Amino acid sequence: MTKILPTTSDNIANCITELIGNTDLLRINSLSDLTGCEILLKCEQQNPGGSIKDRAALQLVKDAVDSGQLKTGMTIVEGTAGNTGIGLALVAKAYGFNMLAVMPKGQAKEKEQMIALYDAQLLLVDACPFADPKHFYHTAKHLGERHADYWWADQFENTSNCKAHYLNTGPEIWQQTQGNIDALVSVVGTGGTIAGNSLYLSEQNPQLQTWLVDPHGSGIYHYFKTGKYQASGCSFTEGIGIMRSVENFRQAKINKAISLPDQDLVTISRELSQLDGILLGSSSALNVAGALYAAAKMGPGKTIVTFCCDLAERSYSKLYNPAFLKEKKIITNHENLASMLARYQTEPSSRVIEVNMAT
């Protein structure tokens, strides 16, 4: 018989924002058994807004309220590829603020719909290079500067983003692994997740290896390789692969950087769906592919933690759309996990960039 917990204040949340964080850590059995490593997935899709960005959104708003920057009746404005906008819309609704999300056109429709469901305003702008003043980042910044009753969250430069993970996510991982963690693997969007977690966890374990995984063609891998941010491809992933140095990212303690193709994240997404019943979005699939790569290079016996960034359905229109993948010349049954592992094991060591310093 199922035990019914007593209804006390200890197990009933008083606000939806109290449900943010304390997510589960899941062993990926297929990859762990194959590699001889413990490959663990931090289930950030469990957050009420469906992504890891809920953590940053809450910390950004709390710190702005505490500092007096954000006051009753004001509107939160932010440029976003989707998930931060959703998280901020959730927090704004819970705290009684208005929300305006500025998003580039061409992102997954599912993200646009979620922002609207939280009764937030959505301003779509043409996708363009960062140097263009019409870029979604600059548009949000200018709106915040022009309106006295707007507060610009500035998720890239506002280190409350990184702080959310230093204070919460990192300690959760350390407790859940009982201090047994050898590697952290993460994609980079604003840099907040990889920075806050790598800072905290490397303080606890100075031998920790933090692996940055970048989609092919993005600028971060190229930056570590050449010292310049330069794009050379067109990954269909969203919200990751920044093309400039930002304050949150500069806080990170990164040891190694790799770049993987979209084909690999598609393969991982299908394999884990079939073997483990785990559905991944595109960023999460790239994280898991990166964890497999780290295991291939580090060898058996290691504990490797990565993130399920958001709900898989937010990637449905691209990652799980046969017509879209066909257009991108991506094959869903390209290879199995054993083949991927063998390929990663034999790839030249020059593919892994040794960073070994704070960014």
Q: Mean per-residue pLDDT for 224-253?
A: 74
Whole-angstrom Cα distance, residue 335 to residue 342?
11
pLDDT at 314 over 70: yes
Domain boundaries, the chain: 16-46+168-358, 53-152
Supply the Cα-derived Rg of the chain in whole angstroms: 20
CATH placement of domain 53-152: 3.40.50.1100
- pLDDT tens by residue, 131-142: 788 888 899 999
Please, what sign has the CA dihedral across residues 123, 126, 128, 131? negative
**What CA–CA distances, in Å, run from 136 to 60, 105, 350?**
19, 9, 35
Q: Mean per-residue pLDDT for 65-78?
A: 97
Mean pLDDT, the chain, whole residue set:
91
Q: What share of the chain is helix, strand, coil (3-state, %, to 5)?
A: 45, 15, 40
- pLDDT tens by residue, 141-158: 999 999 999 999 999 999
Most confident of 235-244, 315-324, 333-342: 333-342
- pLDDT tens by residue, 256-313: 999 999 999 999 999 999 999 999 999 999 999 999 999 999 999 999 999 999 999 8
The C-alpha angle 86, 59, 147, rounded to 5 degrees, equals 70
| DSSP code per residue over 45-93 | GGSTTSBTHHHHHHHHHHHHHHHTSS-TT-EEEEE-SSHHHHHHHHHHH
Residue 1 banded pLDDT, cuts 50, 70, 90: very low
Whole-angstrom Cα distance, residue 51 to residue 288?
16
Burial per residue of 188-207, b for 16 or more beta-carbon CB atoms within 10 angstroms, e otherwise? bbbbbbbbbbbbbbbeeeee
pLDDT at 359 over 90: no
| Encoded tokens for 94 | 């819970």
| Domain 16-46+168-358 part of CATH 1.25.50.10 | no
| Encoded tokens for 180 | 């047994």
pLDDT at 172 over 50: yes
| pTM of the predicted model as reported, rounded to 2 decimal places | 0.92
